[in-house]
């Protein structure tokens, strides 16, 4: 297609998907196409006022009474329930606080306690580096052997020696969406527990934690959930495992009677048992406000919009740049909410695009990652991104020394 044809097609698709256009619920800089929501979500419109209220009225005026009068104490579970709605978890199974690394560490130790006597943790070699580091660290602590298999190999590999299978629902580089139902069922058939990292799927893809009988899950609050930089993470513990859940970081907020100040630890009932210590309340309340952007919206409708956007983006790139090499899957059902390209000058391309107002990101060694946060992006935005990408490559801007020098964060 020509760009005129792409513009016309985009207008038609935007009209078709108008009911799920939530851009007015976000505060986005004018003239920017933001394709990095899978790294840091855009600012929801409700957040600034909520943070001001938390600082000026709750903390500033009501001080310590806010733990009761503004229900600060209940926030980790209350916000957990709001996230639970987006990942298919019934109330009382998600708790918010701490970082993804802490939640992953905690959940792996819980898995070890759920499957004593088993010697292997099974994961894939290309998972996010932090996940690999935490898996290796916990394996050393509990005496597991770390084994690697591709997602396609895992159902055949999982056996009676495997305690837990740990995977990211969406590959952070390629955007490949893994078969959560199939892998979970195969692991359960072998008696293993399954732990899913939802960082790159929650808020963008239906997960169905309860529907697919997932055991444990973790995820961050700052990508597609738009909770802001450093937003607290969350952990999911299926209700059937909560009585047996062993909290390896037994902080006082997870105690059955936290204000009794008892000498010995006794875990609370239900998901509160997975709480650790005092959460970062300002960040937690910002995340709670951010989740209002999904009010009245079904995650299946977000997924439908996402698939239309990513399919259109991929097809437009193919039309305009027929030599483009994709890292992300061709099939819609195998793709999360991003389109990834491979190019030897990927870093320079990302920087040159950002200078033109199209913000994506780079993943080593050669991936241009274009994250499509469906609630605040349009098909017209996709055309803008492709037009700028074509111009960057045609003009050789990606080889300009101004864009090839690596920043500390890239």
Q: Would the pLDDT of 410 be above 90?
A: no
Q: C-alpha dihedral over 101, 136, 203, 98, to 10 degrees?
A: -10
Q: Among positive and negative, which fits the CA dihedral 32, 38, 44, 50?
A: negative
For position 186, what pLDDT does the model report? 98
Q: Would the pLDDT of 402 be above 90?
A: no
Query: Which residue of the set 36, 171, 197, 215 is catalytic?
Result: 197
Query: Which residue of the set 3, 62, 91, 128 is catalytic?
Result: 128
For position 401, what pLDDT does the model report? 84
DSSP for 14-66, written as a single string: HHHTGGG--GGGEE--TT-EE-BTTTS--EETTHHHHHHIIIIIIIIIIGGGH
Selection from 20, 42, 19, 14 nearest residue 30 by Cα: 42
Q: What is the average per-residue pLDDT within 275-281?
A: 97
Active site residue 222: yes
Query: Which residue of the set 26, 369, 376, 381 is catalytic?
Result: 369
Phi, psi of 194, deg, nearest 5 = -120, 135
Query: Which residue of the set 34, 172, 222, 376 is catalytic?
Result: 222
Query: For 88-213, where are the alpha helices, taking DSSP H only?
Result: 100-114, 129-142, 154-157, 180-189
Active site residue 128: yes
Give the model confidence (pLDDT) of 129-176 as tens digits. 999 999 999 999 999 999 999 999 999 999 999 999 999 999 999 999
The answer, as to whether pTM is greater than 0.85, is: yes
Give the model confidence (pLDDT) of 381-400 as tens digits. 999 999 999 999 999 998 98
Q: Would the pLDDT of 192 be above 90?
A: yes
Give the model confidence (pLDDT) of 201-238 as tens digits. 999 999 999 999 999 999 999 999 999 999 999 999 99
Active site residue 197: yes
Q: Would the pLDDT of 408 be above 90?
A: no
Q: How confident is the model at residue 53 (pLDDT cuts 50, 70, 90)?
A: very high
Query: Which residue of the set 223, 275, 356, 363 is catalytic?
Result: 223
Burial zone of 355 (CB within 10 Å; 0-12 exposed, 13-18 middle, 19+ buried):
middle
SS3 335: strand
For position 400, what pLDDT does the model report? 83
Both tokens of 165, joined, read 């299978």
Q: What is the mean pLDDT of the chain?
A: 96
Active site residue 315: no
Q: Would the pLDDT of 265 be above 80?
A: yes
Q: What is the average per-residue pLDDT within 294-313?
A: 98
Q: How confident is the model at residue 374 (pLDDT cuts 50, 70, 90)?
A: very high
Q: How confident is the model at residue 405 (pLDDT cuts 50, 70, 90)?
A: confident
Both tokens of 277, joined, read 């210590």
Q: How confident is the model at residue 406 (pLDDT cuts 50, 70, 90)?
A: confident
Q: Would the pLDDT of 7 be above 80?
A: yes
Q: Would the pLDDT of 407 be above 90?
A: no
């Amino acid at each position: 297609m020509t760009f005129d044809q792409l513009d016309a097609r985009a207008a038609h698709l935007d009209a078709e998907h108008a009911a799920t256009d939530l851009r007015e619920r976000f505060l986005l800089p004018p003239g920017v196409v933001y394709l990095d929501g899978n790294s840091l979500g855009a600012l929801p419109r409700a957040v600034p006022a909520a943070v001001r209220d938390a600082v000026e009225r709750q903390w500033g005026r009501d001080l310590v009474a806010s733990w009761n009068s503004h229900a600060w104490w209940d926030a980790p579970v209350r916000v957990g329930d709001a996230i639970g709605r987006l990942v298919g978890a019934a109330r009382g199974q998600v708790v918010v606080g701490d970082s993804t690394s802490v939640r992953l560490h905690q959940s792996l130790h819980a898995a070890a306690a759920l499957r004593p006597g088993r010697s292997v943790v099974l994961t894939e070699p290309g998972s996010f580096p932090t996940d690999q580091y935490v898996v290796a660290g916990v394996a050393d602590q509990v005496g597991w052997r770390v084994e690697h298999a591709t997602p396609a190999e895992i159902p055949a590999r999982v056996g009676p020696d495997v305690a837990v299978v740990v995977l990211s629902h969406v590959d952070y580089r390629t955007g490949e969406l893994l078969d959560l139902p199939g892998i979970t069922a195969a692991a359960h058939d072998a008696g293993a527990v399954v732990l899913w990292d939802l960082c790159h799927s929650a808020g963008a893809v239906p997960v169905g934690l309860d529907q697919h009988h997932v055991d444990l899950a973790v995820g961050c609050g700052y990508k597609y959930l738009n909770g802001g930089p450093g937003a607290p993470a969350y952990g999911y513990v299926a209700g059937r495992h909560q009585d047996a859940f062993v909290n390896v970081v037994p902080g006082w907020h997870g105690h059955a009677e936290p204000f009794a100040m008892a000498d010995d630890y006794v875990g609370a009932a239900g998901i509160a048992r997975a709480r650790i210590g005092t959460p970062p309340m300002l960040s937690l309340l910002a995340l709670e406000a951010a989740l209002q952007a999904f009010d009245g919206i079904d995650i299946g409708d977000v997924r439908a919009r996402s698939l239309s956007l990513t399919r259109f983006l991929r097809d437009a790139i193919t039309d305009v740049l027929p030599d483009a090499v994709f890292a992300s899957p061709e099939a819609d059902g195998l793709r999360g909410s991003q389109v990834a390209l491979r190019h030897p000058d990927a870093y320079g391309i990302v920087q040159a695009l950002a200078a033109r107002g199209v913000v994506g990101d780079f993943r080593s060694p050669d991936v241009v990652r274009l994250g499509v946060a469906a609630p605040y992006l349009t098909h017209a935005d996709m055309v803008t991104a492709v037009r700028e990408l074509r111009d960057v490559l045609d003009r050789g801007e990606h080889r300009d020394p101004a864009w090839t020098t690596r920043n500390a964060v890239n």
